[in-house]
Amino acid sequence: MAANHTDDGLRQKIEAQINEYQENVSKFFDSGNKSAGARARKALLEMTKTGKELRKKIQDIKNTSK
């Protein structure tokens, strides 16, 4: 596969969202911080959206390399 494909920063974006989720879910479960629970849910939603974008990007690259 050609090395000139790019993920447009989606991998870094999802990694940042995962880190944000982990931080907030820990605050929610360990400290009972209800606001952190809302932020954790928001991060999960954003990860879903980014995951769909990344999935589409991967599929497009895969289809064009045939």
Sign of the Cα pseudo-torsion (23, 25, 27, 33, in order) = positive
Each residue of 24-62: pLDDT tens digit? 999 999 999 999 999 999 999 999 999 999 999 999 999
Q: Looking at the predicted structure, is the pLDDT value of residue 4 above 90?
A: no
Is the distance from CB of 10 to CB of 16 less than 8 angstroms?
no
Rounded Cα distance between 12 and 64, Å, is 23
Rounded Cα distance between 65 and 62, Å, is 5
- Tell me, yes or no, if the pTM score tops 0.85: no
